[in-house]
């Protein structure tokens, strides 16, 4: 059985064979004065022949280099985790119907310790058994759409997700929950915010920072909060449901166009930028935080605009940026560029000729700020006014990630430059905050 | 005198001529029911012929469109602000000698209302007269090095600034202050952190968010804090001195490699990321906040490494990023790429072939996270391990801006790929925080 050593080769394979250890076994690795214990997991096809990868009891994986002093001992046999679902809770047909669409990511997965593979676990009965509380909140209609790490999700997946949400709404869902990896969750939430207009019910994207097999997992609490909001929240917008703080007490709902992943590992990684979350849920009670929002209204007719155009670039300005970066997008026929400028919306004047050329060829060049917080104002300094005069479109307090997604979406609606600029600067899904909302320091 | 209407043409020029108003005059513009008053300032060469730009009393500039109902009236004559410096304070030769190097930016400028030009104001006597407190702290040796908006500063300016700092230290300065625009202040501070090694005295970069002509200006308080620290602080590192909060009470000193401009307009825009500021000053008292730091030590011999190589790119990954962006940097002969990945250090698998190709051609490809806060860990998920196996260099908790500057600096020291990777991953100026420093949510 070649699969037992999946990915191991050369030296690493030799020492494993010698120890009679195979994938899924518990092994003990000693080297000089160090010792490691864990489950032997498969290696990547790109891997070298010098490391062995084990899953530690903490849930983390680690790679250990084999040296001449390394000793490996099999101390336990891998057992495929048996999963016996508890008896299904009694269905309550009077509960609201909530659709859960899974795209992959930590929240939608169970790790198979034996093979190391991440498997989607999202049949309705799987969900009820992993998170039995859900059966008290809603009748779940579960659908596995993709099984992707979220960094692999692209515009075609946004289109398919939007279309699938529309289907479930048409079928009478009281709300839709989308399980999604956190890495690009905010890009997808922005995409759906533009693609799904005139929503009648909430669309809640939810992720988790720790998989369900880890003690500190946030998967269940986030999912419960998301399903609760999908079934009963008074708003009908696209939002992200995640922890408010590092405690499990409160789940907040960030507007799909205003959220950002701001920490690599914390559970409260998402932040609403330049605004507050739209709502929160604490002790099962939903409280609205935004003054204005689109209300749930079952008879409102959804407008689905699921097309995106990838010929849009994101250029983060930095000292020494070579204008040839901008020129190469002109040559390649891109339709637009989001400039992530500095401060109030600036780039070095050595980029001006390239920007002018891009605009002259009919591209949309729009400005956001790499500061993240605050609002650009290109009227304050000479060079900002120069850029405005050239035809650069200022994007107020819009996040650069949202701006990129919006411009991809805009070119899914029109290929005309002027019309594209008109749609880009129109407030479609609260991507622009009103000035008064900002607690600016003046 | 053509200069009186500098930048105005066509229709705009006509209405100004008719009103007999010229640059520097106070004018009143009425249009329908709106009215604006301010000083007429010159327009950019890129400007259209439909707008008139005035400086409002608030200090902000605004452009007003001319319509058929627009009426312009000259209500005052521009007076060139006369500047009579107060008598110079008595020099105190026993005070520490502090060099102030000006590179431009809001902090180092006075706006000439008549011409709209931003002029450097940094002779020692100018400084003493604008901020008389300085004469109680130090003997100032002022030098105007550049007069640039900081978005125009590039690697050659970093080199020149580092060399100038070294000159002042050699000449016996007790500390060096660098006045700099805030937009790219953090890039320059990272550059100087790598270029100036084995510092004997503090090097304090200082900026301001509001020019000295505005009531809420932070220029004087930041400058006083910077000069105080330059003259007496116990540390000998490159830092940024800015407001801690929106009050004027405390100035904090951020390590040059760990700071980021995080708000377009607030005075407390700079933040130390993944660490605390190294020190603060409150009621003229300097308190150290970092446990470990390089101490002031006048006899330590400076090591100056002022060279940078601009053949380094910053690629912010996003859904739908076309791998041709990476390939074009290979074709153009770049030496390295900083990937601003998602989450723990990921990019879409559709970029893997391009990344592999870049590494095979001898480029350094290194990973940071666009989350900003936290630390990457490419061992947690399959795709992270794939990237490591390909040879991508993980950069722990380093800021992507710092990583870019460091890689430019690394290739200023060596052109050898392996040596470059060795230097890149070596902790040179606290660009890596020790793991224990992070308040991670586990």
Task: State the pLDDT confidence band at A100, using cuts at 50, 70 and 90.
Answer: very high
Residue B3: what pLDDT?
A: 44
Residue at B84 is within a domain: no
Question: The domain spanning residue A53 has which CATH number?
Answer: 2.30.30.520
- Average pLDDT estimate for B361-375: 98
B118 vs A358, residue with greater confidence: A358
Task: State the pLDDT confidence band at B122, using cuts at 50, 70 and 90.
Answer: low
* Sequence-ordered list of residues with C-beta below 8 angstroms from that of B71, at least 6 positions apart, any chain: B29, B30, B31
Structure tokens at B165: 């700092």
Q: Is the pLDDT assigned to residue A357 strictly greater than 90?
A: yes
Question: The domain spanning residue B128 has which CATH number?
Answer: 3.40.50.1170
Q: Is the pLDDT assigned to residue B34 strictly greater than 90?
A: no
Q: Is the pLDDT assigned to residue B121 strictly greater than 80?
A: no
Q: State the catalytic residue, choosing from A112, A126, A141, A183.
A: A183
- Average pLDDT estimate for A10-25: 86
Q: Can you tell me the distance from the alpha carbon of B102 to that of B146, in angstroms, rounded to the nearest whole number?
A: 6
Q: Is the pLDDT assigned to residue A411 strictly greater than 70?
A: yes
Whether residue B428 lies in the annotated active site: no
Q: What is the pLDDT of residues A117-139, one digit of tens each?
A: 555 556 777 777 778 899 999 99
Average pLDDT, chain B: 89
Find the CB nearest A44 among B60, B183, B385.
B385
Count up the domains in chain B and report the number. Answer: 3
Same domain membership, residue B102 and residue B55: no
Find the CB nearest A375 among B261, B264, B324.
B264
Q: Is the pLDDT assigned to residue A111 strictly greater than 60?
A: no
Q: Can you tell me the distance from the alpha carbon of A15 to that of A19, in angstroms, rounded to the nearest whole number?
A: 6
Find the CB nearest A348 among B152, B344, B374.
B152
Q: Is the pLDDT assigned to residue B161 strictly greater than 90?
A: yes
Task: For residue A411, count other CB atoms closer than 10 A to its CB.
Answer: 24
Same domain membership, residue B289 and residue B359: no
User: By CA distance, what is B55's nearest residue in A?
Assistant: A380
Residue A295: what pLDDT?
A: 98
CB-CB neighbors (< 8 A) of A118 in chain B: 382
Q: Can you tell me the distance from the alpha carbon of B366 to that of B425, in angstroms, rounded to the nearest whole number?
A: 10
User: By CA distance, what is A396's nearest residue in B?
Assistant: B264
Q: Do B60 and A375 touch (CB under 8 A)?
A: no
Residue at B55 is within a domain: yes
Residue A129: what pLDDT?
A: 74
Task: State the pLDDT confidence band at A173, using cuts at 50, 70 and 90.
Answer: very high
What is the pairing mode between strands B393-394 and B364-369? parallel
Residue A86: what pLDDT?
A: 54
From A73's Cα to the closest Cα of chain B, the distance in A is 23
Same domain membership, residue A287 and residue A237: yes
From B66's Cα to the closest Cα of chain A, the distance in A is 15
Residue B204: what pLDDT?
A: 98
Containing A410, the helix (H) or strand (E) segment is helix A400-413
Domain around B202: 97-304
User: By CA distance, what is A267's nearest residue in B?
Assistant: B441
Number of H helices, E strands in chain A: 11, 23
Q: Can you tell me the distance from the alpha carbon of A299 to that of A393, in angstroms, rounded to the nearest whole number?
A: 37
Residue at A420 is within a domain: yes
- Average pLDDT estimate for A415-442: 84
Q: Can you tell me the distance from the alpha carbon of A164 to that of A158, in angstroms, rounded to the nearest whole number?
A: 10
Encode A303-316: b = buried (16+ Cβ within 10 Å), e = exposed. Answer: ebebebbbbbbbbb
Residue with tokens 């190469």, as numbered in its chain: A328
Q: State which of A271, A304, A337 marks the end of a domain.
A: A304
Q: State the catalytic residue, choosing from B106, B161, B232, B393.
A: B106
Find the CB nearest B380 among A60, A320, A380.
A60
Encode A266-281: b = buried (16+ Cβ within 10 Å), e = exposed. Answer: bbbbbbbbbbbbbbbb
Q: Are B31 and B51 in contact (CB under 8 A)?
A: no
Q: What is the pLDDT of residues B52-104, one digit of tens each?
A: 888 877 767 778 888 888 888 998 876 554 445 455 566 677 899 999 999 98
Residue at B436 is within a domain: no
Q: State which of A248, A280, A304 marks the end of a domain.
A: A304
Task: For residue B352, count other CB atoms closer than 10 A to its CB.
Answer: 17
Same domain membership, residue B189 and residue B107: yes
Residue at A84 is within a domain: no
What is the pairing mode between strands B118-120 and B61-65? unpaired
Residue at A254 is within a domain: yes
Q: Is the pLDDT assigned to residue A437 strictly greater than 60?
A: no
Same domain membership, residue A318 and residue A289: no
Q: Are B217 and B296 in contact (CB under 8 A)?
A: no
Q: For CA atoms A5, A8, A12, A13, give the dihedral sign.
A: positive
User: By CA distance, what is B339's nearest residue in A?
Assistant: A316
Its pTM stands at: 0.85
Same domain membership, residue B273 and residue B140: yes
Residue at B111 is within a domain: yes
Find the CB nearest A374 among B45, B266, B319.
B266
Task: For residue B15, count other CB atoms closer than 10 A to its CB.
Answer: 17
Find the CB nearest B182 among A343, A375, A386.
A343
Same domain membership, residue B108 and residue B172: yes
Residue at A441 is within a domain: no
From A27-36, A86-95, A340-349, B122-131, the region with the lowest mean pLDDT: A86-95
Q: Do A319 and B390 touch (CB under 8 A)?
A: no
Alpha-carbon dihedral A386, A389, A395, A397, rounded to 10 degrees:
50
Same domain membership, residue B117 and residue B23: no
Q: What is the pLDDT of residues A67-78, one digit of tens each?
A: 888 888 988 876
CB-CB neighbors (< 8 A) of B185 in chain A: none
Q: Do A385 and B341 touch (CB under 8 A)?
A: no
* φ, ψ (nearest 5 deg) of residue A18: -60, -40
Task: State the pLDDT confidence band at B243, using cuts at 50, 70 and 90.
Answer: very high
Task: For residue B140, count other CB atoms closer than 10 A to its CB.
Answer: 24
Q: Do A46 and B261 touch (CB under 8 A)?
A: no
Residue A91: what pLDDT?
A: 63
Whether residue B182 lies in the annotated active site: yes
Q: Is the pLDDT assigned to residue B128 strictly greater than 70?
A: yes
Same domain membership, residue B318 and residue B293: no
- Average pLDDT estimate for B329-349: 98
Best B261, B320, B328, B341 residue to mutate vs chain A (most A CBs within 10 Å): B320
From A188's Cα to the closest Cα of chain B, the distance in A is 9
Residue B261: what pLDDT?
A: 98
Q: State the catalytic residue, choosing from B161, B182, B221, B275.
A: B182
* Sequence-ordered list of residues with C-beta below 8 angstroms from that of A10, at least 6 positions apart, any chain: A49, A50
Q: How many inter-chain contacts (A to B, CB under 8 Å) are there?
A: 237
Residue B436: what pLDDT?
A: 61
Same domain membership, residue B326 and residue B286: no
Three-state SS letters, chain B: CHHHHCCCCHHHHHHHHHCCCCCCCEEEEEECCEEEEEEECCCCCCCCCCEEEEECCCCCEEEEECCCCCEEEEEECCCCCCCCCCCCCCCCCCCCEEEEEECCCHHHEEECCCCCCEEECCCHHHHHHHCCCHHHHCEEEEEECCCCCHHHCCHHHHHHHHHHHHHHHHCCCCEEEEECCCCCHHHHHHHHHHHEECCCCCEEEECCCCCCCCCCCCHHHHHHHHHHHHHHCCECCEEEEEECCCCCCEEEEEECCCEEECECCCCCCEEECCCCCCEEEECCEEEECCCCCCECCCCCCCEECCCCCCCEEEEECCCCCCCHHHHHHHHCCCCEEEEEEECCCECCHHHHHHHHHHHHCCCEEEEEECCCECCCCCCCCHHHHHHHHHCCEECCCCCHHHHHHHHHHHHHHCCCHHHHHHHHCCCCCCCCCCHHHCCCCC
Question: The domain spanning residue B339 has which CATH number?
Answer: 3.40.50.40
Q: What is the pLDDT of residues B183-228, one digit of tens each?
A: 999 999 999 999 999 999 999 999 998 877 677 788 889 999 999 9
Whether residue A106 lies in the annotated active site: yes
From B317's Cα to the closest Cα of chain A, the distance in A is 9
From A105-114, A170-179, A187-196, B280-289, the region with the lowest mean pLDDT: A105-114
Task: State the pLDDT confidence band at B42, using cuts at 50, 70 and 90.
Answer: confident
For residue B8, count CB atoms less than 10 angstroms from its CB and return exposed for 0-12, middle for 13-18, buried for 19 or more: buried
* DSSP tag of A77: -
Residue A14: what pLDDT?
A: 86
Same domain membership, residue A299 and residue A317: no
CB-CB neighbors (< 8 A) of A61 in chain B: 379-380, 385
- Average pLDDT estimate for B4-28: 84
B313 vs A6, residue with greater confidence: B313
Same domain membership, residue A279 and residue A183: yes
CB-CB neighbors (< 8 A) of A388 in chain B: 63
- Average pLDDT estimate for B417-425: 98
Q: What is the pLDDT of residues A263-299, one digit of tens each?
A: 999 999 999 999 999 999 999 899 999 999 999 999 9
């Amino acid at each position: 059985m070649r699969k037992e050593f999946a990915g191991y080769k050369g030296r690493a394979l030799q020492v494993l064979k010698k120890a009679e250890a195979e994938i899924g076994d518990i092994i003990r690795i000693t080297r000089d004065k160090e010792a490691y214990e864990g489950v032997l997991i498969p290696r990547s096809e790109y891997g070298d022949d010098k490391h062995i990868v084990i899953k530690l009891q903490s849930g983390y994986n680690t790679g250990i280099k084999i040296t001449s002093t390394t000793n490996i001992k099999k101390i336990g046999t891998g057992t495929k985790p048996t999963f016996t679902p508890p008896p299904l809770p009694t269905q309550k047909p009077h509960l609201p119907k909530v659709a859960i669409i899974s795209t992959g990511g930590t929240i939608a997965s169970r790790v198979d310790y034996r093979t190391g593979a991440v498997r989607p676990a999202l049949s309705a009965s799987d969900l009820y058994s992993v998170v039995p509380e859900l059966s008290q909140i809603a009748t779940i209609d579960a659908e596995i759409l993709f099984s992707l790490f979220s960094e692999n999700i692209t515009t075609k997946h946004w289109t398919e997700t939007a279309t699938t949400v529309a289907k479930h709404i048409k079928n009478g869902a009281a709300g839709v929950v989308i399980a999604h990896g956190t890495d690009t969750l905010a890009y997808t939430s922005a995409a759906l915010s533009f693609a799904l207009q005139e929503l009648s019910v909430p669309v809640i994207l939810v992720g988790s920072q720790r998989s369900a097999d880890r003690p500190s997992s946030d998967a269940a609490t986030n999912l419960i909060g998301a399903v609760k909001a999908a079934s009963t929240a008074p708003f009908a917008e696209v939002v992200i449901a995640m922890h408010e703080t590092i405690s499990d007490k409160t789940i907040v709902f960030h507007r799909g166009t205003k959220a950002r992943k701001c920490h690599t590992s914390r559970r409260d990684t998402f932040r609403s930028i330049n605004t507050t979350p739209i709502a929160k849920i604490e002790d099962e009670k939903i409280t609205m935080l935004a003054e204005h929002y689109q209300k749930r209204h079952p008879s409102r007719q959804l407008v689905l605009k699921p097309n995106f155009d990838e010929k849009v670039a994101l250029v983060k300005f930095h000292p020494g940026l070579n204008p040839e970066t901008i020129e190469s997008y002109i040559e390649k026929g891109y339709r637009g560029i989001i400039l992530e400028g500095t401060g109030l919306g600036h780039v070095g004047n050595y980029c001006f000729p390239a920007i002018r050329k891009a605009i002259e060829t009919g591209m949309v060049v729009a400005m956001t700020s790499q500061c993240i917080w605050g609002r650009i104002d290109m009227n304050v300094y000479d060079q900002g006014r120069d850029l405005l005069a050239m035809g650069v479109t200022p994007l107020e307090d819009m996040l650069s990630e949202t701006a990129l997604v919006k411009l991809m979406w805009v070119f899914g609606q029109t290929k005309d430059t002027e019309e594209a600029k008109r749609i880009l600067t129109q407030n479609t899904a609260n991507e622009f905050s009103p000035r008064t909302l900002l607690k600016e320091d003046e």
